[in-house]
Amino acid sequence: MLISVMLSAQCTDERVNKTTPDLFKKYNTPEKMVKADIREIEKIIHPCGFYKNKSKNILACSKKIIEDFNGIVPDNMEELQKLPGIGRKSANVIMLEAFHNPQGIAVDTHAKRIANRIGFSKETDPEKVEKDLLKQIPKKYYYDVNHLFVWHGRKTCMARNPKCDNCPVKKYCENYK
């Protein structure tokens, strides 16, 4: 999950899901990953974009997991964010999807756009948007809200040509007129 989340930056889930089987067939543990030739990793993950930086982060992250966490991906926000290539958004996704223990709200492009349009936040920085959302959304909804933002952003509240007339939350939306 951690490597998939790293690859998903500026990339579609569909592309990541097509790329990871080849990567994990060869390198399915941090120990195997650190022994990999960086050029081989670059070649495999090239379709995901930013492959040079992502390859460096994958290797550095794998090394840190081995050296600092006995080969086990940490299961808390603070330690996850110490890993190369893992910021707050990625740590939120990993805590939610891998550990089923959401700690916050992963603010991706959809969550940011919807939070701004509806009026939950006027901020542009994802961490500030998350702070605004956390003040308004009870913790019991953290698990579902990440998925709902993505779904709503893909199906209804798209960046261009949002389907406002069909939106189930339009009566709450500051952007809907």
Q: Is 33 exposed, middle or buried (0-12, 13-18, 19+ CB in 10 A)?
A: buried
Mean pLDDT of the residues in the chain: 96
Sequence-separated (6 or more) residues with CB below 8 Å from residue 144 = none
| Confidence tier at 104 by pLDDT (50, 70, 90) | very high
For residue 163, count other CB atoms closer than 10 A to its CB: 11
User: What average pLDDT does the segment 106-115 reach?
Assistant: 96
Percent of the chain with pLDDT over 90: 97
Q: What pLDDT score was predicted for residue 4?
A: 97
**Is residue 96 within 8 Å of 146, Cβ to Cβ?**
yes
Q: Which residues are designated catalytic?
A: 89, 108
Q: What pLDDT score was predicted for residue 75?
A: 98
Q: 36-76: per-residue pLDDT in tens?
A: 999 999 999 999 999 999 999 999 999 999 999 999 999 99
Q: 119-164: per-residue pLDDT in tens?
A: 999 999 999 999 999 999 999 999 999 999 999 999 999 999 999 9
| Confidence tier at 81 by pLDDT (50, 70, 90) | very high
Q: What pLDDT score was predicted for residue 176?
A: 87
The phi, psi pair for 48, rounded to 5°, reads -80, -5
Q: Which residue, 64, 65, 148, 165, is CA-closest to 110?
A: 148
Domains and CATH numbers, the chain: 2-97 (1.10.340.30), 109-172 (1.10.1670.10)
Q: Which residue, 61, 60, 43, is CA-closest to 52?
A: 43
Q: How many residues does the chain have?
A: 177
User: What average pLDDT does the segment 87-103 reach?
Assistant: 97
Distance separating alpha carbons of residues 20 and 4, to the nearest angstrom:
7
